[in-house]
Structure 1
Amino acid sequence: CVNTHDPSIIRRGDGTYFRFSTGGGIAVHSAPDITGPWEYKGAVLPDGTSIKLWDGKMDAWAPDVHLVGDTYYLYYSAVRAVVFDGHNLAAVGVATSTTMDIGSWKDLGSTGVQSKDSSEYNAIDPNLFIEDGRSYMIFGSYVDGIFQVTMENPPATATPNTYAKLAYEPAGNHANEGPNMFKHGDYNYLF
């Protein structure tokens, strides 16, 4: 598991573990146990994302995988494939599969969560959070805090006009990265 950026790990019903990570079209590794051995299987998006926010190449980063009903949802950040130059052109995309096997993923494109230079947020680092049957996308990094948007059912599309800021770092460059929300008891925890 060396050189693994932005990992998301999930266990399939047959006991197989899958690890998804930034790079190579969302790299996929699997293992019979959480401790390994991990074997590279391929890419979720071998031809890249279907999201096009500009004329150049788009990269897929920061996968987040969840089983909802009998379908696996893999959310990812679609970003400009350039060194960060101050532009916020990004979107949260989604791909679905019923098995997580290579070749089974269908890229559905953008969830509707997108950012541009004038956006208050940067649409990266997605995390799906489900509470009481409602789905929320927690996202955002580096620019101006962590945000949440309500998702439709099934959770492939954002509900318009439901954005809310959850967290903000008032000091320095205001950088927050990689949000994840979990429920424990009666409380929700945002990391």
Structure 2
Amino acid sequence: MTVRRATVAVAAAAVLALLPNAAQAAASYPDPQPISGQQIIHDPTVVKLKDGRYVAYSTGGVIGARLSKDRVNWTDEGNAFAEPRSWWLDYNDTGDPWAPDISYLDGTYWLYYAVSSWGTNHSAIGVATSKSGLPGTWTDHGKAFSSQASDTWNAIDPAVIRANGKLWMSFGSYWSGIRMVELNPRTGKAVPDAKVHHLATRPDAPYAVEGPAIVRHGRYFYLFASYDACCQGVNSTYKIRVGRSTSVAGPYVDKDGKPLLEGGGTLLLAGHGRFVGTGGESVFRDKGKDVLAYHYYDAEDNGTPKLGLNELSWDKTGWPGL
């Protein structure tokens, strides 16, 4: 049996060597960890709560909420808010918030989210707080930052990180890509006349890079972002790329040294098999490891968006892998 297995392995390796590079890369992507229960989600943000449970918030509803005791079985727990905030209606007719981000700072959970309409950068990022992080306990504090049609950025897809004693929020989408502003750590809102830093873009319109998440590992800050097309079910081409910098505000470069402001970005995860359009990512810490949360469109379930979770590994040069 040992000889037969070895023969099969050698044959498989020979076949793989003949595949195109893209196919070889696809073969190397891991599937998400198996989960059960309520799997449907879009743009997930996940954190392990003080009570030991995991909560995931997402686009859909009034910020959809999921809970899990073990990071495997997830239950639908309604929404972060009981009803839309009135000010959201200035940005879309339905009061539909997008792409939340949850973090825990100084004894308080902070929830950031975007309100906008498809195809416009008349957008805003809101902020809410909670002592428990559970759905139904959030107090909304209004706008943290906004953008207008005259701006060259889009205030959606927020992600918050503390660095060098300051609080920062990355954000952005198709209006020139990923940006960043400094936040007031007391209010959670952008500081007055905040400088808008530019972190990543593409060389050609529509500059399809969005959904940032920044984490620190060792001496570097790592910018994860979603590239290409979202929200088209099995036709989605979302993929996750990454770059790094010694400064939270950049400049970020990929593994080959190409700046993310010049279209760079090392490919971390792309669609493969039934797992189409991997993106909308965030990163959270659990049991001493970094975990990548994202959505994919299930090609075996009519393109339904579902939760993907994979633990990140870090190579000897400090680059993340799966």
Aligned partner of residue 58 in structure 1, secondary structure: coil
Greater CA drift, 45-54 or 101-110? 45-54
> Aligned residue for 1:164?
197
Greater CA drift, 147-156 or 121-130? 147-156
Distance 2:77 2:148 in 1: 34
**Match status 1:100 vs 2:136:** no
**Match status 1:13 vs 2:20:** no
Letter in 2 for 1:150: E
Distance 1:151 1:117 in 2: 22
Aligned partner of residue 157 in structure 2, secondary structure: coil
| Bigger radius of gyration among the two | 2
Aligned residue among 22, 39, 57 for 2:59 = 22
> Aligned residue for 1:41?
77
Alignment of 1:1-191 (within 5 A): 1-35=38-72, 37-52=73-88, 53-54=90-91, 56-80=93-117, 84=118, 86-111=119-144, 113-154=145-186, 156-159=188-191, 160-191=193-224
The Cα shift of 1:47 comes to 1.1
Distance 2:151 2:211 in 1: 18
TM-score, with structure 2 as normaliser: 0.55
Alpha carbons of 1:187 and 1:54: their partners in 2 closer, same or farther (altered >3 Å)?
closer
| Superposed CA offset, 1:39-85 (max 9, x none) | 111211221134343583331010100001111000000113xxx2x
The Cα shift of 1:165 comes to 1.0
Contact 1:51 1:93 in 2 (8 A): no
Alpha carbons of 1:188 and 1:57: their partners in 2 closer, same or farther (altered >3 Å)?
same
Letter in 1 for 2:221: N
| Superposed CA offset, 1:2-27 (max 9, x none) | 33100011001221110111101001
Letter in 2 for 1:43: N
| Superposed CA offset, 1:138-179 (max 9, x none) | 000111111000000225110123211111211342111111
Distance 1:78 1:55 in 2: 7
Structure 2 unaligned segments of length 5 or more: list them: 1-37, 225-322
Contact 2:160 2:169 in 1 (8 A): yes
Distance 1:107 1:122 in 2: 21
Higher helix share: 2
4+ residue segments displaced more than 6 Å: none
Matched residue count: 185
Letter in 2 for 1:137: M
Distance 1:74 1:50 in 2: 17
Contact 1:50 1:109 in 2 (8 A): no
Alignment RMSD (CA, Å): 1.6
